[in-house]
Amino acid sequence: MNRVPMTARGAEALKVELQELKTVARPRVIEAIAEARAHGDLKENAEYHAAREQQGFIEGRIAEIEAKLSNAQIIDVSKLTNDGKVIFGTTVVLSNTENGNEMTYRIVGEDEADIKNGLINIGSPIARALVGKFEGDVVVVKTPGGDIEYEIVEVKYE
């Protein structure tokens, strides 16, 4: 089975969510099922059916997180020597060569990507254009609206 790259931060966030699901959400829904059962007839007991449905979602999410963590190749760039090269997990400050606008992105795994928070998927066109380049390099990113040139201003290993 292929290992999926994941940042140390992303793995930690999943571990925290998993712990919350196992220690808080799961016991709470089990208690809700027991309470609904005590009310009698299960066929027409909406509280019981809602609690069972919630239990299904929780158990599914627990299984999903455990699978992701077991297939993850956790990469902690803060432990690597910063040689200015863009690799998975680095934070990259870019400057648009046309208008001078600066933007900052962290290159992360598919499950961690969140463009609104500056987290871009390693498989995205911009990340693919950046990986392997160095501070000071100019890269061309192919977008549906045309090619855009960016200068790599800074590469952070944090």
Region 9-36: what's the mean pLDDT?
Answer: 94
Task: Say whether 1 sits in a helix, a strand or coil.
Answer: coil
Predicted confidence (pLDDT) at residue 60 exceeds the cutoff of 90: yes
Q: How far apart are CA 118 and CA 127, in angstroms?
A: 12
What pLDDT does 155 receive? 95
What pLDDT does 68 receive? 93
Predicted confidence (pLDDT) at residue 36 exceeds the cutoff of 90: no
What pLDDT does 37 receive? 84
What pLDDT does 1 receive? 58
Q: How far apart are the first and last CA of the chain?
A: 29
- Beta strand pairing status for 119-121 and 91-96? unpaired
Q: By percentage, how much of the chain surpasses pLDDT 90?
A: 73
Q: How far apart are CA 107 and CA 150, in angstroms?
A: 16
Which pLDDT band holds residue 76 (cuts at 50, 70, 90)?
A: very high
CATH class of 77-156: alpha beta
Region 60-77: what's the mean pLDDT?
Answer: 94
CATH class of 4-75: mainly alpha
What is the DSSP code (8-state) at residue 85? B
Stretch among 23-32, 63-72, 117-126, 140-149 having the lowest mean pLDDT = 140-149
Delimit the CATH 1.10.287.180 region(s) of the chain. 4-75
